Amino acid sequence: MTGFFKGSATAMITPFSADGGINFDAFGRMIEYQIANGTDALVVLGTTGEPATMTEEEKTAVMQFALEKINGRAKVIFGTGSNCTAHAVEASIKAEKMGADGLLAVTPYYNKCTQKGIVAYYKAICGAVKIPVIAYNVPARTGVNILPPTAEELSYIDNMAGIKEACGNMEQICETMRRIRPRMDLYSGDDNLNLPILAIGGKGLISVVGNIAPKEVKQLAVLMQQHKLDEANELQDRLLPLIDACFTEVNPIPVKEGCNMIGLDAGIPRAPLTELEDAHKEIMRNCIKSAGIKSL
């Protein structure tokens, strides 16, 4: 299926308080910051949200809070992927019942299944729910790569709404786009490649840097929709140092510190992730300034 959403989505962080719990007040402010700056969809409990360190009760509470706070003002997409197909199906059914607009399901990680296993995994998830499902391809984290012929096979599943691409290989992404067009949408899952993915027909961005710069990420998507390539290039050039700063250490370590710097109380990641190193803090601080991001 096509047309689930277009424009910008932010892969939301989950803010933790000093005692290690979830800081719902801060999360609410982050949601309002996104909506005020035009973000079209919020991805909650994706990789950037650190669900791997959260209990099922915490995840349920975050989902319910997000739904109530957003209240239809943007699309709500919940991360439900797992390295266990049965668990992914169960989580997807739960998210649909709670009221999610769509799902983001990362490929099974660590197990390193075959391409046949990838197809079976997504067929199981899509067959269990009626809402749109976006596949998430991030082989650097999962050890599994959705190859273009596999993406093509997925595109024939009725409620398979797209693929979030973060494989880092534009040659592969172009071939995937060729094979899935016009049955399934392509979304950028790598902020460094936002502009070229939009240029080949990507429908939107699922962005990490959007936690800090939602207005600019949305503007980039709009400029590309309007075919204003020169302006889009200028904006992407301005954002690239900040994007790089968001990945000086593993995501979401840097972006959480960046949010802290602009006045969003993100706290620090949960162990085994650590606080951003001092040298990288200085880089982040300088890049936020050079990108023109104002403190709240």
Residues belonging to the active site: 136, 164
Residue 106 phi, psi dihedral angles, 5° rounding: -65, 155
CA distance 204 to 186: 7
Question: What single-letter amino acid sits at 112?
Answer: K
Which residues share a beta bridge with 163? 135, 186
Sign of the CA dihedral with 171 first, then 167, 161, and 231 last: negative
Measuring CA to CA, which residue among 155, 111, 113, 108 is closest to residue 134?
Answer: 155
DSSP at 256: H
Can you read off the two tokens belonging to residue 200?
């080949």
d(CA 170, CA 232): 18
Q: Rounded to a whole number, what is the largest CA-CA distance in the chain?
A: 49
Q: For residue 11, which phi and psi values (nearest 5 degrees)? A: -80, 95
